[in-house]
Structure 1
């Protein structure tokens, strides 16, 4: 059965061809969302599925609850590594300042279902 992630990947690749995805793994411990690790992936096909992503993320050795993917599609193909690293560092800083930035990407739980960070009203 296809996950929301699988549908997203297939649609993004169909619309744009190869692209770079900036990826941020997070732990969710309400009311906090904590960034754990980040990387970038050059996507050159839509053959990988959510199970493949989980296997890849196992290498991080992090207990994660969500993964946000930020597709970099405006440059007509995967980014050069230096450019991808620079964009990832800028994204990490933005997320440290405001967790709602995670909603600008495509955010998935450990089952590949869509997630959204919601702002909590102060008491």
Structure 2
């Protein structure tokens, strides 16, 4: 079991189905890049991290982490609502990466991540 598996089972038990907004993240070079996004309707709790990771790998991008957001407190939402909310979320995240803190944030192993503020680098003078 991974942190993702625990989160998925608990969230499904709470909602009996929900829509999740997915944002794939790249972290190369100390950057936080938004790579691709999608939404998914969760109608059961039987998917495990290896299957989810394989689904995310199908995006065709090399991702390092994934940020998952519930599309709404109401559980499942219609596709058009999910698309609109995903578009709004990605636009907001393009301006403010700290919104990742509001997500369920997992690495490639399905373990929870946390986004902390970066400390300014001290300039190196030659």
TM range (shorter): over 0.9
Instruction: Give the root-mean-square deviation of aligned CA atoms.
Output: 1.1
Give the count of matched residue pairs.
Answer: 121
Tell me the alpha carbon deviations over residues 26-70 of structure 1, each in whole angstroms, 9 at most, x when there is no partner: 111242110000000000010101111111112101000000110
Which aligned runs of 4 or more in structure 1 are off by greater than 4 angstroms? none
Determine the structure 2 residue equivalent to 1:80: 78
Q: TM-score, normalised by structure 1?
A: 0.93
Q: Check whether the contact 1:25–1:36 (CA below 8 A) recurs between aligned residues.
A: yes
Structure 1 unaligned residues grouped into runs of 5+: none
Determine the structure 2 residue equivalent to 1:3: 2
Structure 2 unaligned residues grouped into runs of 5+: 122-126
Q: TM-score, normalised by structure 2?
A: 0.91
Q: Name which one, 1 or 2, has greater alpha-carbon Rg.
A: 2
Q: Check whether the contact 1:16–1:73 (CA below 8 A) recurs between aligned residues.
A: no
Relative to total residues, which structure has the larger strand share, 1 or 2?
1
